[in-house]
Structure 1
Amino acid sequence: MSVQSTAPASDIDLFSDAALLEPYELYRELRDLGPVVYLPRLDVYAITQYAALREASTNWEVFSSARGVGMNDVLNEATEGLLICSDPPDHRTMRKVLERPLLPDRLNDIAPFLREEAGKVVDQVLTRGQFDAVTELAQHLPLTVVSKLVGLGDYGRVRMLEWAAASFDALGPMNERTAAALPKAQEMVGFALNEARPGTIDPDGWAAALYTAAENGELPVDKCPHMVVDYTAPSLDTTILGIASAIWLFAQHPDQWQLVRENPSLIRHAINEALRLESPIQRFTRLVTRDHELEGFAIPSGARVMLLFGSANRDERKYSHPDSFDVNRKPSDHVAFGTGEHACAGMNLARLEIRSLLEVLVPRVERFELIAAERTVSSVLRGFSKLDVRAVQGAS
């Protein structure tokens, strides 16, 4: 029988503005303390290392999402019914329907459409030469997916980005940032409940297919509005930030961009490497359903644990030179999309969107030059709110 140890404690505040902007040294301190670290400021156990995080992520019976994935009870109660805030069997029932348009064969069908849209937006930004890689490049494909494929049209589009960002900010502990985000997050839920319904949405879109599935008895109809939110909020900021961070990394490391230009087959590895190094989602929480031992450390029933994806993806126990951007690395086992039962349902779509843009950019751009960058300050997300770059064009 193993002897359980008490988890080491740390007074690090992961939700200060400074920590949200520059978390990696703090993550390293926490990893050095151990795979499980108790944070008394938040009354939460942080899972800091890669192996421990994968183990917790794949054990949904103990590390439950059904009581929410945020750091405050208000949002956790309000998000009950979302795919991300459920466990089997409900989770599997909803996911089976939600994933249909996201399966590989369906994504193959929309790949030409995404590449065409990627070509349009790349033409626009390269004509200018200097552009904001967030608002003028990265936002285009995710918003197009929501409007044309999910089938929401321009209905709610003006507010969608604001709502999506707020839905992640509202996952933080109950502080000023969270309090300011909660009403906007609730607006998004209200939009899905009251407005994004049959009669206003595209009858051929993904959202309408949810209601068709409910009519066929595959899931309760009251799950449909929550699943519309699942198609929108998680798919916007995460992909947008992933695209912009990849451009930033290539601007910082022109030698890596040149490697990709010389060998475009490296694009898929470069995408995974960018997601590993700058994980758009840095953390979610789970509720522990019973006393449990993780890597020799005792975690009591009823405790909240924080899965630090951003830390695990830079764990030196897993990746050599983890802070380096290396497009020859093949980190397909990164946890930027989570893992296990709650692995991101839209991860293949996100990869396809990023790949569509890079495949158009690679033969046309010799290098990216960074002009100015502003990081977003978010309780959960990491990336840029503004990223001004100059694209120097040249033949491959």
Structure 2
Amino acid sequence: MTDDHRDMQATHCPHSSSAPAEVSAAPRLVSTRPVPVYDEDLYSPAAIADPHPHYAAMRALGPVVWLSKHRMYAAPRFESARAALADDETFRSGDAVAITRLAQLTGRKTTIVCDGEAHLARRKLVTSRLTPRALRSLKPDVEAMAVEIVDGAVRKGRIDAVADMALAMPLTVVPDMMGWPQHARGHLLPWGVAAFDYAGPANRLFLRSLPGVIAMRLFVARLVRTREVMPGGIAAELLEAVDSGALTKSQCALLLIDVLAPSIDTTASIIAAAVQLFADHPEQFEELRRDRRLMPNAVNEVVRHASPLRAFTRRVHHATELATHTIPGGSQLLVLFASANRDETVFPEPDEFDIHRDTTGQLGFGYGTHTCGGQGLARMETAAILSALLDRVERIRRIGTGRRAINNVIYRWESLPVELTPRRSAATESREQEC
């Protein structure tokens, strides 16, 4: 264990001194073990920038911990996180994905913040364009866009991998798929950042997010009224559902936010992480170049290692046991996707990046009924960028340390300076050999 891990203070205490009281009619369960307490602030700027020492310290304590700073439970290990995500009857998303009560109330009736049949019905409305069959028709356009982005980056030589590649892809693909008006696309990234900060605790990032969240909601509501969307996109389909009576205007606005808010930052996080990881591991970049069949697993390993979503919460519907610990009904449980993906008992040497690793079951896109509906598109965009890099770049070299974004939910690079060494073409190599 590192010095950082030893510095993390943790004790054990009974439920009676720190956990919320029972609020449901379910019978009281008797925990066989006390819940360990973790006293650090997971949402401090330092912890946001470097969360993994905290995750390791919590995993060392047990599958369930009590976060004294945030007054809620957390599931830091793979077994407990996956079990909670699999049981959406007990660990509910309704009124719970965000941490603060304000965000919970204003998020009601979105796809993310609802359960059961309501969730499935709303999810179906926004994921019809994200099925494997639908994505197959989109693949040529995504690959062509990746080539254009990477060609431009190679011409520059030295680039910011975030601004010049990671954001360039989803900021084009997602708005085009949505049919989002061109004049309003400049707001999408700051609004997405604000939406994720809004899902965190009531810290400075949460307060800073409020103007952006309000502006996003007002704009989308106006868009539904004016119908100023491009034809043929998801937005136009949702407006048709309003016309048919399948949706109200307010429901339509919430569904538009559902798709837009999480779709850009998460994909940008994965693409930037892929660039960083292959820059740091050039031998694996070469292995992937030699065997493109490794691409799906390589992307999965990037998602496992980088885990763009740190955590979301669930509301415990009734008293239950999770990994031998009793959690009272009405409690909040923070499901730590990123910590679960570094669980030593599931992924040996979890801090190492290895494209040959068995990544089956990694939780970077969630699990269960609330698994990320756009993960297929995110994988496609990442694979397209990597394929274009493999074809055109001999090596990716980091220049400088880069800077992490400070966000309550998203874990990604804010800036990642790299240098791209162009790959010599076969024709060039042939001419050199003749000389």
The TM-score range, normalised by the shorter chain, is: over 0.9
- For residues 147 and 345 of structure 1, the distance between their equivalents in structure 2, rounded to whole angstroms, comes to 16
- For residues 355 and 266 of structure 1, the distance between their equivalents in structure 2, rounded to whole angstroms, comes to 11
Instruction: Quote the offset at 1:156 in angstroms.
Output: 1.9
Q: 1:326 aligns with which of 335, 354, 359?
A: 354
Structure having the higher Rg: 2
Instruction: Quote the offset at 1:190 in angstroms.
Output: 1.7
The residue number in structure 2 matching 1:281 is 309
The residue number in structure 2 matching 1:382 is 411
- For residues 217 and 353 of structure 1, the distance between their equivalents in structure 2, rounded to whole angstroms, comes to 34
Instruction: Quote the offset at 1:153 in angstroms.
Output: 2.8
Q: Per-residue displacement from partner, 1:96-143 (whole Å, max 9, x unpaired)?
A: 111100011110011111111111111111111111111111112211
The residue number in structure 1 matching 2:285 is 257
- Name the count of aligned residue pairs: 396
- 1:344 and 2:359 aligned: no
3-state DSSP of counterpart to 1:282: coil
Q: Is the 8 A contact 2:224 2:252 kept in 1?
A: no
Q: 1:393 aligns with which of 411, 422, 425?
A: 422
The residue number in structure 2 matching 1:224 is 252
Instruction: Quote the offset at 1:186 in angstroms.
Output: 2.0
Q: Which amino acid aligns with 1:383?
A: R
Gaps of 5+ in 2: 1-28, 426-435
- 1:296 and 2:315 aligned: no
Q: Is the 8 A contact 1:75 1:182 kept in 2?
A: no
Instruction: Quote the offset at 1:216 in angstroms.
Output: 3.5
The residue number in structure 2 matching 1:112 is 140
Q: 1:353 aligns with which of 348, 358, 381?
A: 381
Q: Which amino acid aligns with 1:23?
A: P
Higher mean alpha-carbon deviation, 145-154 vs 201-210, is at: 145-154
The residue number in structure 2 matching 1:91 is 119
Q: Per-residue displacement from partner, 1:371-390 (whole Å, max 9, x unpaired)?
A: 13111011111111111110
The residue number in structure 2 matching 1:71 is 99
Q: Is the 8 A contact 1:248 1:370 kept in 2?
A: yes
Q: Is the 8 A contact 2:31 2:326 kept in 1?
A: no
Q: Per-residue displacement from partner, 1:125-177 (whole Å, max 9, x unpaired)?
A: 11111111111111122111232111003232111100100111111111112
3-state DSSP of counterpart to 2:56: helix
Q: 1:177 aligns with which of 199, 205, 214?
A: 205
- For residues 324 and 152 of structure 2, the distance between their equivalents in structure 1, rounded to whole angstroms, comes to 55
3-state DSSP of counterpart to 1:131: strand
Q: Which amino acid aligns with 1:83?
A: T
Q: Is the 8 A contact 1:367 1:393 kept in 2?
A: yes
- For residues 181 and 360 of structure 2, the distance between their equivalents in structure 1, rounded to whole angstroms, comes to 34
Q: Per-residue displacement from partner, 1:55-85 (whole Å, max 9, x unpaired)?
A: 1001111111110311111111111121111
The residue number in structure 1 matching 2:41 is 13
- 1:238 and 2:266 aligned: yes
Gaps of 5+ in 1: none
TM-score, L = length of structure 1? 0.97
Higher mean alpha-carbon deviation, 171-180 vs 32-41, is at: 171-180
TM-score, L = length of structure 2? 0.88
Q: Is the 8 A contact 2:96 2:332 kept in 1?
A: no
Superposition map of 1:22-101 within 5 A = 22-101=50-129
- For residues 330 and 210 of structure 1, the distance between their equivalents in structure 2, rounded to whole angstroms, comes to 39
Q: Is the 8 A contact 1:130 1:388 kept in 2?
A: yes
Instruction: Calculate the aligned-residue CA RMSD, in Å.
Output: 1.5
Higher mean alpha-carbon deviation, 120-129 vs 138-147, is at: 138-147
Q: Is the 8 A contact 2:224 2:249 kept in 1?
A: no
Q: 1:139 aligns with which of 167, 187, 212?
A: 167
3-state DSSP of counterpart to 2:315: strand
Q: Is the 8 A contact 1:68 1:79 kept in 2?
A: no
- For residues 297 and 48 of structure 2, the distance between their equivalents in structure 1, rounded to whole angstroms, comes to 27
- For residues 177 and 103 of structure 1, the distance between their equivalents in structure 2, rounded to whole angstroms, comes to 34
The residue number in structure 2 matching 1:186 is 214
3-state DSSP of counterpart to 2:307: coil
Q: Which amino acid aligns with 2:412?
A: G
Q: Is the 8 A contact 1:143 1:236 kept in 2?
A: yes
Q: 1:215 aligns with which of 239, 243, 249?
A: 243
Higher mean alpha-carbon deviation, 110-119 vs 146-155, is at: 146-155
Instruction: Quote the offset at 1:395 in angstroms.
Output: 4.5
Q: Is the 8 A contact 1:133 1:387 kept in 2?
A: yes
Percent identity between matched residues is: 35
Q: Per-residue displacement from partner, 1:217-267 (whole Å, max 9, x unpaired)?
A: 444443111111111111000001110011011111111111111111111
Superposition map of 1:187-206 within 5 A = 187-196=215-224, 199-206=227-234
Instruction: Quote the offset at 1:367 in angstroms.
Output: 1.1
| Change beyond 3 A, Cα 1:40–1:126 | same
